Each structure stands twice: as C-alpha cells, then as structure tokens.
C-alpha cells in the first residue's frame, strides 16, 4: 500500500503526458521548427477542430479563461453599472471580470445538489439594469439551461456560459436536442489551464458563439480591437493563444472523449463505494452528461476527514472554501453572511477527491477504504 499512497495525486499531468509523449513532443517540435509562435495555422486549426467538436460556428482562441470571460462581456457593449447575475459559488474569475469592466455582479444562490446557480431564484434579482445571466457549469455538469434560457428570452438578457470546467458535457434540451455546454447561450467561455479536462502546458482559453456579429467583435477585441493590422476600430486587449499551446491542445482534443469517459468510470466507482456512507453525499448528475472535472462530495466533519486522508497520503481539495459574496474583493457590494445560505453551507462541507484521466481502481479502492474507515472508526 505504501507505493500507492505516494503516487496518489489530485491531477496526474505527468502520467497523461507519458501516455501521449510521442504525439505531443512532435507537435511541439513542429511549432518550433515553423517559428510561427503567435497565431498562424496551428491556432487556426485548433479553432476549427473545436468548432467541430462543440458543433458551434465560431471558436476564438485566447490567452486564458479569465480573458475569455472579459472579452465576452466587452463584446456586449454594456454600460457602467449594468448588472450581471451570477453564482457566488465559483472561482473568483467569474465575478472579477464583471467588476473589472465597471459592471455589477449580482449573486443568486446555488442548488445544493448540483452546486450550480438556482435558475428558479433568478427572477427575483432581475431589474431594468440586468443585462446578462452568467451561469457557471461547475465541476463538469451543466447548469439548468432550459430554465435559464427561458428567463433570458423573456427578459431580453444575454447568457454567457462559464464553461471553464465542463468541456465535453452534453445537455439534452427540452426540444430533445443534444447540445454541448458552452453552445447554448449567446457566448461560452473555456479555460485550458493545465488541470482542466482539456488542458495545455501553460495558460490558454477560448470563446465560443454561433453569433456572427459577436464572433467578429470578439476576434477584434482579442487583437487590440482591429481587423486590419494597425487600424483599431474599437478598444481591445492583447489576448492570444500561443501556437505551442494550440499544438498540445490539438493532440489532447483527439483524446478528450476518452479522458472524460475515464473520469466518468472513476466517478461511478466512487459512487458505488461511497454512496452507502450516511455522513456524506456523492455528487448527482441532474443535467445531462457529467464530465467530472471534480468529484466533489458533501460531508460531515470535512476538515477532520481532509486531515485524516492527508496523513494517509491521500490529497483532497476544497473548492471553494469561501463563497464570493464573503470575499474581501466583493465586500463593497454589501453582502453579508446568511445572504446565500446554500453556498455558505457548501463551502463548509465540500471536499473534492482525486480525479483525473489516469486514476486507477487500486488508488480509488484505497481512497474509498480510508474514507469508510474514517466514518466507521471515528
Ligand atoms: C469556473 C472558472 N471560471 C474561470 C476560470 C478562469 O480560467 P483561467 O485560469 O484559464 O483564467 C476558471 C479557472 O480556474 C474556472 O474554474
């Protein structure tokens, strides 16, 4: 057991690299050989391949998932003080970009079982300043997009899907049509941070849309607001995906469904082993296919369990220990403890277990047996 304990990781980027080493090394070497480090044919090809994978008209690669959110918001021509409704139970980038652009984040609490924004509570927060709903498909599962889209249409609001954690997830819409997350609203955003389900070897991101006008604007914004070099029609930023990162992503995209299938198998294993434990709740799969970016349990005595596992060589992470409305960065909004009780409750109970495309049954068996021991012997 000693060997296994040493090897358990939250994410195994090295193991994944070794399984693709030849393909990745030669893709990177090709970029170096070409010396086309910025934009160029490889970045273009990645965009096309992602359009095909996602069944979406436009994929615009950019520097990272935070930029993707910012560029999406910039493309909508919003006015200072306009409101963007989002979740307080997410990574800070989601709300940070709203604030950077002089807009106001308005939080709506999440559903306890999916960790995603509670669409049924959205309507209460809509007023004449509301312009955008920004749901996050957290941990690998879609938000309740049917209801979100219905409300957005009723109130003429844009929808930007923060799809940083859920590339590959599918949602069956009311119409019966299967759609990838990130292609349901007006714009979707992706992060290719190394530990994401589709991750590169540095920073990377992309913006997705079916809308011609928005696509053109976002392409311009990524390139200092220009279509033609040195002619700047609007104010933009410099947000590009490096060709080396695009080369890595092109290799990994071919394997993404296999990686996601492995994650799903690992989630099924955890479910089967852990669902009988009364003190913890395994994650549900309410909206379409789950790609398990994280396998996150809700559990009693969370911090004690985390330490117990750590002592036995098992890493775990708390995503997220403090909901955004209680973070110093958003204190100016005047939110208080108790305003979003489900997010607050989750921040005290969530624990993400090791989950990646290389995890083995032996590792999972050890992790699960230690969790069971903790709850039976403590
Ligand atoms: C939900 C969510 N949104 C946005 C981001 C930002 O992506 P990046 O780190 O690529 O800027 C992340 C990345 O961690 C994320 O998890």
Q: What is the pLDDT of residues 254-264, one digit of tens each?
A: 999 999 999 99
Task: Indicate the SS3 state at residue 136.
Answer: strand
Residue 84's CATH number: 3.40.640.10
The whole-angstrom separation of Cα 203 and Cα 244 is: 11
C-alpha 112 – ligand 1 centre gap (Å): 21
- Claim to verify: residue 197 and residue 337 sit in the same structural domain: no
The residue out of 236, 253, 270 marking a domain boundary is 253
Mean pLDDT of 303-311: 98
C-alpha 276 – ligand 1 centre gap (Å): 33
Tokens 């204190």 — which residue? 331
The residue out of 206, 224, 253 marking a domain boundary is 253
What residue ranges line ligand 1, CB within 6 angstroms? 64-66, 90-91, 93-94, 136, 162, 164-165, 191, 193, 203, 205
- Claim to verify: residue 86 and residue 183 sit in the same structural domain: yes
Assigned token pair, 316: 């775990």
Q: Is-contact 133 122, C-beta < 8 A? A: yes
- 280 bridge partner residues: 299
Q: Which of 64, 90, 192, 193 to mutate to test the pocket of ligand 1 (most atoms within 8 A of CB)?
A: 193
C-alpha 65 – ligand 1 centre gap (Å): 5
What's the DSSP call for residue 79?
Answer: P
pLDDT exceeds 80 at position 4: no
pLDDT exceeds 60 at position 1: no
Handedness of CA 28, 257, 119, 128 (dihedral sign): positive
Q: For the chain, how many structural domains are there in total?
A: 2
Assigned token pair, 188: 């979707």
**Of 85, 216, 225, the residue nearest 162 (C-alpha):** 85
User: Which pLDDT does position 172 carry in this prediction?
Assistant: 85
The whole-angstrom separation of Cα 351 and Cα 333 is: 28
In a domain, 240, yes or no: yes
- Claim to verify: residue 295 and residue 248 sit in the same structural domain: no
Measured from the Cα of 191, ligand 1's closest atom is 10
In a domain, 7, yes or no: no
- 104 bridge partner residues: 83
**Of 137, 183, 170, the residue nearest 257 (C-alpha):** 170
pLDDT exceeds 70 at position 3: no
Residue pLDDT, tens place only, 182-203: 999 999 999 999 999 999 999 9
The whole-angstrom separation of Cα 225 and Cα 190 is: 21
DSSP string for 328-355: GGGGGG---TTSSHHHHHHHHHEEEEP-
The whole-angstrom separation of Cα 117 and Cα 115 is: 7
In a domain, 348, yes or no: yes
C-alpha 93 – ligand 1 centre gap (Å): 6
Tokens 């392409």 — which residue? 219
In a domain, 25, yes or no: yes
The whole-angstrom separation of Cα 160 and Cα 163 is: 9
Give me the domain span that covers residue 220: 15-253
- Claim to verify: residue 56 and residue 201 sit in the same structural domain: yes
pLDDT exceeds 50 at position 374: yes
Residue pLDDT, tens place only, 87-117: 999 999 999 999 999 999 999 999 999 999 9
The whole-angstrom separation of Cα 317 and Cα 139 is: 13
- Claim to verify: residue 193 and residue 268 sit in the same structural domain: no
- Give, using CA atoms, the residue closest to atom 8 of ligand 1: 65
In a domain, 8, yes or no: no
* Per-residue confidence band for 210, with pLDDT thresholds at 50, 70 and 90: very high
C-alpha 248 – ligand 1 centre gap (Å): 19
- Claim to verify: residue 287 and residue 230 sit in the same structural domain: no
- Claim to verify: residue 367 and residue 273 sit in the same structural domain: yes
User: Which pLDDT does position 177 carry in this prediction?
Assistant: 86
pLDDT exceeds 80 at position 6: no
What's the DSSP call for residue 46?
Answer: H
Residue pLDDT, tens place only, 23-41: 999 999 999 999 999 989 9
- Claim to verify: residue 245 and residue 278 sit in the same structural domain: no
The radius of gyration of the chain's CA atoms, rounded to the nearest angstrom, is 21
Residue 360's CATH number: 3.90.1150.10
- Claim to verify: residue 276 and residue 227 sit in the same structural domain: no
In a domain, 3, yes or no: no
* Per-residue confidence band for 122, with pLDDT thresholds at 50, 70 and 90: very high
The residue out of 253, 278, 298 marking a domain boundary is 253
* Per-residue confidence band for 2, with pLDDT thresholds at 50, 70 and 90: very low
The whole-angstrom separation of Cα 365 and Cα 373 is: 12
In a domain, 146, yes or no: yes
Q: Is-contact 154 180, C-beta < 8 A? A: no
Task: Indicate the SS3 state at residue 251.
Answer: helix
Alpha helices in the chain (DSSP H): 2-7, 13-34, 41-54, 65-75, 93-100, 145-154, 212-222, 243-253, 256-274, 302-311, 341-349, 361-377
Measured from the Cα of 165, ligand 1's closest atom is 16
Task: Indicate the SS3 state at residue 370.
Answer: helix
* Per-residue confidence band for 80, with pLDDT thresholds at 50, 70 and 90: very high
Contacts of residue 258, Cβ cutoff 8 Å, sequence gap at least 6:
357
C-alpha 165 – ligand 1 centre gap (Å): 8
In a domain, 2, yes or no: no
**Of 368, 340, 269, 267, the residue nearest 115 (C-alpha):** 340
Measured from the Cα of 138, ligand 1's closest atom is 1
C-alpha 91 – ligand 1 centre gap (Å): 6
- Claim to verify: residue 266 and residue 345 sit in the same structural domain: yes
- Claim to verify: residue 190 and residue 46 sit in the same structural domain: yes
pTM over 0.85: yes
Q: Is-contact 196 357, C-beta < 8 A? A: no
- Claim to verify: residue 193 and residue 92 sit in the same structural domain: yes
Q: Is-contact 226 236, C-beta < 8 A? A: yes
């Amino acid at each position: 057991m000693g060997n296994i304990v040493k090897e358990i990781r939250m994410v195994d980027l090295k193991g994944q690299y070794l399984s693709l080493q030849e393909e990745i090394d030669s893709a990177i070497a090709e970029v170096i050989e070409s010396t086309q480090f910025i934009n160029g044919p490889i970045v273009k090809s990645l965009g096309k391949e992602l359009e095909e994978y996602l069944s979406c008209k436009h994929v615009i690669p950019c520097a990272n998932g935070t930029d993707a959110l910012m560029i999406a918001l910039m493309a909508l021509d919003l006015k200072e003080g306009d409101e963007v409704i989002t979740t307080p139970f997410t990574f800070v980038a989601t709300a940070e970009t709203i604030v950077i652009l002089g807009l106001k984040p308005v939080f709506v609490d999440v559903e306890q079982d999916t960790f995603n924004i509670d669409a049924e509570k959205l309507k209460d927060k809509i007023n004449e300043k509301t312009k955008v709903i920004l749901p996050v498909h957290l941990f690998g599962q879609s938000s309740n997009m049917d209801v979100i889209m219905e409300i957005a249409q009723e109130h003429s609001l844009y929808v930007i899907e923060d799809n940083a954690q859920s590339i590959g997830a599918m949602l069956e819409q009311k119409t019966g049509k299967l759609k990838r997350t990130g292609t349901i609203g007006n714009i979707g955003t992706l992060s290719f941070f190394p530990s994401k389900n589709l991750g590169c070897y540095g920073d990377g991101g992309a913006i997705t849309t079916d809308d011609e006008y928005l696509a053109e604007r976002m392409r311009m914004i990524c390139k200092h607001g220009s279509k033609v070099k040195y002619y700047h029609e609007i104010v933009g930023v410099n947000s590009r995906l490096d060709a080396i990162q695009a080369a890595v992503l092109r290799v990994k995209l071919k394997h993404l469904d296999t990686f996601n299938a492995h994650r799903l198998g690992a989630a099924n294993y955890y479910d089967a082993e852990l669902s009988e434990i009364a003190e913890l709740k395994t994650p549900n799969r309410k909206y379409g296919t789950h790609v398990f970016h994280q396998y996150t349990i809700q559990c009693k005595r969370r911090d004690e369990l985390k330490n117990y596992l750590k002592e036995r060589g098992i890493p775990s992470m708390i995503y997220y220990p403090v909901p955004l409305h209680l973070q110093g960065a958003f204190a100016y909004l005047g939110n208080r403890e108790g305003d979003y009780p489900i997010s607050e409750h989750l921040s005290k109970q969530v624990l993400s277990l090791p989950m990646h495309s290389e995890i083995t049954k032996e590792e999972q068996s050890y992790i699960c047996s230690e969790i069971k021991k903790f709850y039976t012997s403590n």
